[in-house]
Amino acid sequence: MNGEWIEDYEYDIEGSSCELVVTAAQTVHIPENVSSLFPKDSDLRVFQAVSYLGVPLMDPAGTDLGHLAVLDSRPMPKEPRLISLFQIFANRAAAEHQRLRAEAATRGREKRQTANR
């Protein structure tokens, strides 16, 4: 947040701007007033969020892997190019997540094979 990593941050998405991204697997863009649109989400006020953009992370089979979101303390006007770039970034993040999971599965199989020898 503000260029700093927040260690072990957990977030309840119910009633938040992220909920629709996760439940409907769709891009959500809120150009301004995100804090007033989601008054139960106290983190938005703490982070002084004004705008929000969230994109689902999906694998090729359509399985939800999570989501990628950005908050800004300024309005984020609707710019199709910006939203498209963020979606491309989210697709790349989902692909990297899949690669890491496949790599871990391969290591697990190799470890089991070595143990069975």
Convert the pLDDT of each residue in 22-78 to its tens digit: 888 899 999 999 999 999 888 898 889 999 999 999 888 888 888 889 999 999 999
The three-class DSSP label of residue 80 is helix
What is the end-to-end Cα distance of the chain in Å, rounded?
Answer: 48
H-run or E-run covering 29: strand 28-30
Beta bridge partners of 53: 29, 70
Contact 43, 17 (CB under 8 A): no
Distance (Å, rounded) from C-alpha 35 to C-alpha 46? 10
pLDDT in tens, 67-106: 889 999 999 999 999 999 999 998 898 889 888 888 998 9
Question: Does domain 19-115 fall into CATH 3.40.50.300?
Answer: no
